[in-house]
Amino acid sequence: MKAPDFTLEDYRSKKMVSLEDYKGRVVMITFWVSWCPDCMQDLPLKEQFYRSMDSEDLAFLSINVTGREKDENAGPEFIEKHQLPFPILLDKGRQTYDAYDCRTVPTTVILNKKHEIAAKFEDKATFIDIMKELSNLL
């Protein structure tokens, strides 16, 4: 299934980022919110992975689902506190989250190089399972 396209604002640069910007690359997308205990375990693992990955073949995008935050400042406060190094896009509301048919946070979606959905992992998925799926595509 072809992944829904999106254009979202990058939290740091304020530039608009589109899925099309990553054409021909495997893309890992993680939807998250600041109040989620599973996200707090997931994001540090993804940070370690991000620091070691080859960005020519793989893109990692994290999307803060602002429509699921308890207040509008929660996401930005979390980002500033934890100094996450990877791209953080803002799904203002939950339009992209809903387009990907997400029901939980974190949800990680892996797209192949044609930007078809190769796998989707919900909140209780292990980091190892996500990495296994990625290794099959790279």
Q: What is the CATH number of the domain that holds 32?
A: 3.40.30.10
Whether 80 is in a domain gets the answer: yes
Q: What's the pLDDT at 128?
A: 95
Q: Residue 2, Cα to own-chain centre: how many angstroms?
A: 17
Residue 72 to residues 45, 56, 95, Cα–Cα distance (Å): 25, 34, 16
Q: How many CB atoms lie within 10 A of CB 85?
A: 9
**Domain that residue 131 falls in:** 7-137
How many folded domains does the chain comprise?
1
Helix (H) or strand (E) holding 134: helix 127-137
What does the alpha-carbon distance between residue 114 and residue 124 come to, in Å, rounded to a whole number?
27
Beta pairing, strands 26-32 & 107-111: antiparallel
Whether 2 is in a domain gets the answer: no
Whether 35 is in a domain gets the answer: yes
Q: What's the pLDDT at 67?
A: 95
What does the alpha-carbon distance between residue 96 and residue 64 come to, in Å, rounded to a whole number?
10
Which tens digits make up the pLDDT trace of 36-84? 999 999 999 999 999 998 888 999 999 999 999 999 899 999 999 999 9
* Closest listed residue to residue 65, CA positions, set 57, 56, 74: 74
